[in-house]
Chains A and B, each alone.
Chain A
């Protein structure tokens, strides 16, 4: 609150639409409070652009509390910037120094085409879930919630995996633009619970094959996804995915 404001140079990727050629444009922002979030810093830049009758920088965002998964941004070469366990909306300017230059780019992956500036199309993630990321039950006619006891340990592990927010940082971080961490989180969540076991074989095959169709790359175990995941989803989920996949193939 008392802290001194930051003056920063921003190099931001501007691209008018999916077909246009993009480029970095340089902006200066002044007297940014270290207590504000990264997106609030961009809000302030946009306010000055609108005052000059220019088109503001487009970026995706919604809940601004790290849970909706809508915000993205590749900041100085890292998805969601230089803090761990946070999304861009939770990244605060106190992580930067006065005089810093910050490069801001969209997620870059074949499966995530740019819509405008920093906004990309992540509907490929929805399509992977649609392939089988669910338990096939209709509304109604299900047993009492306490009819199945589940080991706390498994419920907790399932919850760890289920925390994925579908932001796409794992794909952006991966040199192959692989979606393995995302897919493995959903496969693990359901494979760890009795409700998900019945369709486990079909699920893993359908989701992996949809992932391949959509143009995501292969996993080469660099672990970049785990390092950059804002929800700290573990790479062990990928091991579980591989195990589930092999088991499904072996019958």
Chain B
């Protein structure tokens, strides 16, 4: 620690060079922070999904509809606590680009099963009792500036009204949020009454999209899922049940390996960086051979020279990593607002720790060759060479 002033002075020996190198590393860690947060946002759905919930869809595709009558049958299954359902409305607000999901649901049971959602009790009651009522997530209400009492037009992509028109309208009676802000991106949608939807649509009456069951014992998930599917096997509407986690995971996998792509990008970034920082460190030590030889003459050991050079590299990468991550943390909230489906984009503790470990590794890789050179320095040669 007493060498710190020495290391600090050495680091700023060539200020422009150190600053430029640092800025490159800052940029790399900024990119790391942003991409990791995006990657994490994709995965939060999997991490936050309940292990005590099962999703039951059509056997061949989630797009198959199931009979409304299955609701009661699933409720009666052993081990199932409560059940709700949802359908895919597939409409859009004003223009197709404004995409967010809309689900016609049974209001009371939906909020019972999704206990991580918070909504004012009066608003929930209004949702249950208002036929054309709808509730939206706080994130959506903020994005589109909606407030209670607004009439929200939604253009149908799938379900026309009985008269063939695509123009649905819903009254905003409630705004819900999640207990954990990190889960916001998972619950960024609009809910409306299934009862009204089912009566008003042109076709498809008596069907729903999928069921969500809350089970008593997560350990039993496999058996209960099998039991549900067995119940409907050989019927015209066979089912496929899985835990919500597995369901979300497989949906994520459908996107292709986003994690792999992001890791490849980061790999390329850090490989590039390695050269850049490594070069600076080598240059810096090369220029200082004379000074280092003087230190050795005074009586510094090879080991302490090694540590001094390594500490310099570490100081450089750590400071840059912290600045880059700080910048990412600062930019993410603004970014999240402009990216539909990415509310709650943030850096978690794991991302910070991984980044700092990366900085440490980077410092070791780029610092070690020049540090070893400093350690092995021959005083006589160095002094005469740089007299």
Do A and B bind?
no
Chain A interface (Cβ < 8 Å from any Cβ of B) = none
Chain B interface (Cβ < 8 Å from any Cβ of A) = none
